[in-house]
Amino acid sequence: MSTIKKLTHVAGTFLIEAPASFLNGAGLGDGENRNVTLPKTFRDGRDRVPYVSAQSWRRWLRNTLIEETNWEPSVLRSLTVSAKGTTNKIGGEFNPIDFPEDDIFGYMRAASNKKRQSDIEDGESEEDEVEHSGRKVKTLIRASPFSSSILCSVRKSGWQGRDEGFVHLKEGTPLPYTTEFYCTHLEGVFSLNYMRLGVFWNIGDRVELDEAKVDDFLKCGKIEVIKEEGKSGKIYESTNAADKRKERTSALLNALAHLRGGAKQAAFGTDVSPKVLILAGVTCGNPMFNSLFVDDGNGPYLKVDTLKEIAKDYADRIVTPIFIGIRKGYLKNESDVLQLNGEVSGVTFKILTPIESAKEMATVLS
């Protein structure tokens, strides 16, 4: 008896064109390079490779998502300050029911511990569960259903550029400064745990939905209990979760296709919306569309044979077409990519534009 495969995750990859760009800074150089502003890089053997941190581009995505939807944002704010008056804890609304952003990207709020510092120094550890107003307050953690890699340069060498600038003064000599930038293409990989959207576990030490808000959510009909685990706790789900899951995922993919953001845009303006966007609905959490691009110095190529192999290996877990969105004239082997259109190893490929790819993926969500 055959069983219908159910979409549980959306897996994808994308490529950003970054010609003469500076999208994520690492600060100033060392020694004689103290007047040089550097981009973030890492070492890969002998190569120094530029990248954009996941934290950075996820913030671009969150901002784009809010701009595209006009959803009320879950704004980060200071929660507590140290004795010196500096911020030591931050957080947003911690409300994934009314703020879709919190549902998609998760959050963490550590339990507030009122122990005296002298007690801690005497060997008493801070606990995850503390007494507060007659009830236990646990650490509130929702792991992000949206997982992502860094944006990594596919060009390992030959990407470096230096911009020598000067601040000209009305009087006195100009003040020189230097910015190192890159000319490359940045690859990102992601996976969205689709079925985790709108579902919240308050079981044992795992608390995803603020217990102080649960009663109000239940009374207002915003959530319902879908499973009870005795004294251990309950699992909650948003009312009309299926519709909200589809709406929030569609909005997220649309924001990704229209992505904007990045550092130093005034001086190194870069369109960071993907020039290639590959998406598929799958029954597993593997971010399988990784390491699919290469640049031999002449431009980016999609590794077509590798993508075919992935489709073959995961054919029993891919439940939608593989949508390949490409900007015309961008990939150097575009003609090879276009030949994928159709069925390969039992998996359907559809060649579209990046924005169309996001729209088509949204239409097959259930």
**Per-residue pLDDT band at 66 (split at 50, 70, 90):** very high
Residue 260 has pLDDT above 70, yes or no: yes
Residue 326 has pLDDT above 80, yes or no: yes
**Per-residue pLDDT band at 179 (split at 50, 70, 90):** very high
What per-residue confidence (pLDDT) applies to 11? 98
Residue 130 has pLDDT above 60, yes or no: no
Mean pLDDT score of the chain: 90
68, burial (CB in 10 Å: exposed 0-12, middle 13-18, buried 19+): middle
What would the mean pLDDT of 264-279 be, rounded to a whole number?
97
What per-residue confidence (pLDDT) applies to 72? 96
Residue 330 has pLDDT above 60, yes or no: yes
**Helix ranges (DSSP H) in the chain:** 54-69, 100-105, 117-121, 211-219, 241-257, 304-313, 334-338, 354-363
What per-residue confidence (pLDDT) applies to 112? 63
DSSP β-bridge partners for residue 128: none
Domain definitions of the chain by residue range: 9-106+143-363
What per-residue confidence (pLDDT) applies to 127? 43
106, burial (CB in 10 Å: exposed 0-12, middle 13-18, buried 19+): middle
Q: What is the pLDDT of residues 192-204, one digit of tens each?
A: 999 999 999 999 9
CB neighbours of residue 168 within 10 Å: 9
Residue 113 has pLDDT above 60, yes or no: no
Residue 158 has pLDDT above 70, yes or no: yes
Helix, strand, coil percentages for the chain (3-state, nearest 5): 25, 35, 40
pTM of the model: 0.90
The counts of H helices and E strands in the chain are: 8, 25
From first CA to last CA, the distance across the chain in angstroms is 22
What per-residue confidence (pLDDT) applies to 279? 98
What per-residue confidence (pLDDT) applies to 88? 76
| Most trustworthy range by pLDDT among 45-59, 87-101, 135-149 | 45-59
**Per-residue pLDDT band at 32 (split at 50, 70, 90):** low
Distance in angstroms (rounded) separating the CA atoms of residues 79 and 363: 40
